[in-house]
Amino acid sequence: MSNPDPKGRGWQGAKPMQLLVTLAVGCLLYFILPRVAPVPDAKLFAGTAAAKAKPGDKAAKPGEKVAKPADKPKPAEAKAAEPKAAASAKKPSAKELEVQRIEAEAKVKFEAAAKAKADAEAKVKAEADAKAKAEAEKVRQADWIRGLHLFAIFVATILGIILRPLPMGAVAMIGVGLTAITGTLPIGDSLSGFAEKTLWLIIVAFMFARGFIKTGLGTRIAYFFMRLLGKRTLGLAYGFAATEFVLAPVVPSNTARTAGIIMPIMRSLARAYGSNPEDGTARKIGAYLTMTCFNLDLIVSAMFLTAMAANPMTQKFAADFGITITWNSWFVAAIVPGLVGLLVIPYFFYKLYKPEITETPEAVEMATAKLKEMGRPSMSEWLMVAVFSFVLVLWVIGEKAFGIDGTTAALLGLALLLLTGVLTWKDVLEEHNAWDVLIWTGGLIMMAGFLNKLGMIPWFSKVVGASMAGHGWHFGFLVLAVTYFYAHYFFASMTAHAGAMYAAFLGVSITLGAPPMLAALVLCFFSNLHASMTHYGTGPAPAMFGLGYVPIGTWWRLGFMVSVVNILIWVVVGGAWWKVLHLW
């Protein structure tokens, strides 16, 4: 070939092995499951019947119409006979007795005729019912097959997100396509996830995050708290906690927040104190800050609906069960255990993983110098603060006070940022994270939603729930929640984990009798906290681990211990707080 592909940069398509495994598992499930899994009993698996009751009314009505007239006539005639009986009770003469007798006979005749008529109608009704039942059964069986097919595509998608033959978004896009290509769902349903309001809440939050980074406001806030609290190492850690807490509500990428804003500051600070992983000085201060900052990130991620990209996904999964978690109700439930966590974690590491340097007066100087260098906040930063505060207020009280939805409030904020030029439309279009999230969240939300609508998740919940019954929900739910938590050892992404397991575990919990809102929230919180154990559990983990301050064994050992502390805090403190909130 005289001219090799000028764009050739090696193979850019799917990684073959990973693709093969994903496709093999998907195809196997897709083709084998419907053969080996018989349609469950109608009590356990209702198919779309329940969901259809709303849009499908029309189909169900003819049957009802036949039924109603057949049921009603009886009381009508019974009533019609009453006044006569009452009237004839007055004067019982011979003639009248005769008349009464004949009338009574006539009545019997009428009633017999009416009964015959009713019986005939009942027969028609029974036939119609039987026919409708047979049709419903057909639909139910078809739903089961569709459900199994969708499950196969869903598993392959989640497996693809884990094995990554292609980036997560591409895998999800292909998964969405497959639901339509295989005819499992109509194309309109396949795309329905892309209009979800919580999804757009997170997309707009990504734009806010861009504003925080673009204007330098995020960095300024970090230095502000460093100057305020940074005299000692422990204070520094609390400064980072405060920064995370302030940024979290509008920075839904925990990678952008922790690896993007916090990490550079933390790293330069550690180096300024002569703590470098290369020369054995990691334990001076860098190792402590690494572990602390990483774990603080997870706690604040659990505290706000908008603090982590996958949170609205779990919120939507809960909504599929009829559980409405608003921005405000999430925040209120999480604030107490969350704040306790933010207080405990820095101290926990301070005791168990003590830094050699405990006094850090230079940090204050460094922060002061940096802030001076940054100068007074620009107009853009002030506008960012104003819009941010405004949206935050709306998120906290808007729903209850003015009926303004969280997404509506976010759109209002975005409009203000665009109108004032804090963000340009180019910024919005170039915020690729947001479009990535649109695709994968939209895809996963759609699939899990239809697994629910097709009756698969309710079926699974009933079957597993039945096998676990008998211990009361407290014990059962705790086992489920902790299992859900530690399953994260097998996941490299919070999204993949929540996508794969959240809906099923919530369903089983509810079947066991756990209060739905409590169960939904606990699983939402755990969907963030569970990432502490490994160095690959979520985006910032490999970034922070990659700094080299913390050896892998230490990371895992401390990670496990933190996980226990977190579970204790959220179960004990959280449990008490949720009792106060009447969540159980």
**Contacts (CB under 8 A) with a second copy, residues 469-528:** none
Q: Does 411 bind a second copy (CB under 8 A)?
A: yes
Closest approach, Cβ 257 to a second copy, in A, equals 20
d(CA 570, CA 334): 9
Q: Does 106 bind a second copy (CB under 8 A)?
A: yes
Q: Does 2 bind a second copy (CB under 8 A)?
A: yes
Residue of the chain from 68, 91, 351, 582 that contacts a second copy (CB under 8 A): 68
Residue of the chain from 113, 335, 369, 469 that contacts a second copy (CB under 8 A): 113
Question: Which listed range, 133-141, 234-242, 307-315, 407-415, lies at the site for a second copy (CB under 8 A)?
Answer: 407-415
Q: Which of residues 22-41 bind a second copy (CB under 8 A)?
A: none
- The neighbouring-strand residues paired with 359 are 232
DSSP string, 370-394: HHHHH-SPPHHHHHHHHHHHHHHHI
Q: Does 92 bind a second copy (CB under 8 A)?
A: no
DSSP three-state, residue 376: coil
- 61 neighbors 102 (Cβ within 8 angstroms): no
Q: Which of residues 342-401 bind a second copy (CB under 8 A)?
A: 372-376, 378-380
d(CA 204, CA 412): 10
Written as six digits, the tokens of 528 are 């963030």
61 or 579: whose CB is closer to a second copy? 61
DSSP string, 549-583: SS-HHHHHHHHHHHHHHHHHIIIIIHHHHHHHTT-
- 422 neighbors 379 (Cβ within 8 angstroms): no
Q: Does 93 bind a second copy (CB under 8 A)?
A: no
Residue of the chain from 268, 324, 389, 424 that contacts a second copy (CB under 8 A): 424
The percent of the chain in helix, strand and coil, each rounded to the nearest 5, is: 80, 0, 20
Q: Does 74 bind a second copy (CB under 8 A)?
A: no
Question: Which listed range, 193-201, 323-331, 509-517, 576-584, lies at the site for a second copy (CB under 8 A)?
Answer: 193-201
Residue of the chain from 132, 191, 332, 482 that contacts a second copy (CB under 8 A): 191
DSSP string, 186-209: -HHHHTGGGG-HHHHHHHHHHHHH
Closest approach, Cβ 255 to a second copy, in A, equals 15
Q: Does 429 bind a second copy (CB under 8 A)?
A: yes
DSSP three-state, residue 358: coil
Residue of the chain from 157, 184, 215, 563 that contacts a second copy (CB under 8 A): 215
CA dihedral for 456, 458, 459, 460, sign (positive or negative): positive
- The neighbouring-strand residues paired with 232 are 359
How many residues lie near a second copy (CB under 8 A)? 98
Closest approach, Cβ 424 to a second copy, in A, equals 5
201 or 518: whose CB is closer to a second copy? 201
Q: Does 328 bind a second copy (CB under 8 A)?
A: no
- Which DSSP letter does residue 68 get? H
CB neighbours of 318 closer than 8 A, spacing ≥ 6?
Answer: 324, 325, 506, 520, 524
Residue from 563, 542, 575, 447 nearest 502 by CA? 447
Q: Which of residues 434-453 bind a second copy (CB under 8 A)?
A: 435-436
Binding mask 271-310 for a second copy (x = CB under 8 A): ----------------------------------------
17: number of Cβ within 10 Å: 10
9: number of Cβ within 10 Å: 6
Residue from 534, 539, 510 nearest 522 by CA? 510
- 478 neighbors 524 (Cβ within 8 angstroms): no
Question: Which listed range, 151-159, 163-171, 348-356, 548-556, lies at the site for a second copy (CB under 8 A)?
Answer: 163-171
99 or 343: whose CB is closer to a second copy? 99
Residue of the chain from 35, 58, 351, 582 that contacts a second copy (CB under 8 A): 58
Q: Does 5 bind a second copy (CB under 8 A)?
A: yes
Question: Which listed range, 31-39, 102-110, 241-249, 334-342, lies at the site for a second copy (CB under 8 A)?
Answer: 102-110
Closest approach, Cβ 327 to a second copy, in A, equals 13
Residue of the chain from 49, 141, 214, 482 that contacts a second copy (CB under 8 A): 214
185 or 547: whose CB is closer to a second copy? 185
Residue of the chain from 42, 187, 397, 572 that contacts a second copy (CB under 8 A): 187
Residue from 191, 67, 110, 163 nearest 439 by CA? 191
Q: Does 13 bind a second copy (CB under 8 A)?
A: yes
Residue from 222, 193, 135 nearest 317 by CA? 193
Written as six digits, the tokens of 190 are 């396949």
Binding mask 122-161 for a second copy (x = CB under 8 A): ----------------------------------------
Q: Does 72 bind a second copy (CB under 8 A)?
A: yes
CA dihedral for 33, 38, 39, 42, sign (positive or negative): negative
Closest approach, Cβ 425 to a second copy, in A, equals 4
